Amino acid sequence: MTKKEKLAEIKKRMEADKSLPLASGASRLVFGDGNPDAQILMIGEGPGYWEDQQGLPFVGNAGKLLDQLLATAHLSRNDTVYITNVVHHRPPGNRDPEPSEIAAYGRYLDEMIEVIAPAAIVTLGRFSMAKFLPGAKISRDHGRPVTMPWRGREIVVVPMYHPAAALRSGEVMLAEREDFASLESGLKSLVDKRSETTKESEQMHLV
């Protein structure tokens, strides 16, 4: 099965899962968007009104800013990134997701991460940051890549501000723009290094 097919299968199971805590209040599941073969996975918080309407993550104002920021880093959801959230149904009234809700969707998010197997995960906002870096503080740690073990693999996690926070504060917007600017070079060297390792492993018949 291709990664795309594996993700479609997870999506189907999520749509059928009546135990998902936010399902009854939402219009539809907002699973993810982008290239399943991308080396970069971006994880936000949860769908808002427009995402709930369209079934795609980051299509409202924060999403428009995210697309611009991606473009400045020469990244795009058609090609170099896959985007999802820590919860995949809209919380009522756009409230913050509860820890129990994040845990319920987290089982599926972990499966998605396993399938996509990205070289780097960019967390957007504090909820997805806390999943990987529980002791981190966004105002201190944003933009700083952390290499960590994740289910038997090594991944790089880059905590970033949520684009909605950048829309609310000029200072955060400045930091967000700087972080996206350095993301490009940081991720490029990481992805190049990873594909070299894969090539070497292929030559040695390790993969």
Residues that bind ligand URA (CB under 6 A): 44-48, 51, 57-58, 60, 62-63, 85
| H helix intervals, the chain | 3-16, 49-54, 61-72, 99-116, 126-132, 138-141, 163-168, 170-203
d(CA 142, CA 138): 5
d(CA 192, CA 134): 28
d(CA 108, CA 92): 21
d(CA 155, CA 127): 18
- What is the closest distance, in whole angstroms, from the C-beta atom of residue 100 to ligand URA in the complex? 18
- What is the closest distance, in whole angstroms, from the C-beta atom of residue 183 to ligand URA in the complex? 18
- What is the closest distance, in whole angstroms, from the C-beta atom of residue 114 to ligand URA in the complex? 21
Nearer to ligand URA, 36 or 46 (CB): 46
- What is the closest distance, in whole angstroms, from the C-beta atom of residue 92 to ligand URA in the complex? 15
Nearer to ligand URA, 47 or 143 (CB): 47
CB-closest chain residue to ligand URA: 44
Nearer to ligand URA, 36 or 63 (CB): 63
Q: Which helix (H) or strand (E) holds 84?
A: strand 81-85
Nearer to ligand URA, 108 or 191 (CB): 108
d(CA 89, CA 82): 18
- What is the closest distance, in whole angstroms, from the C-beta atom of residue 7 to ligand URA in the complex? 16
Nearer to ligand URA, 168 or 193 (CB): 168
CB atoms within 10 A of CB 159: 26
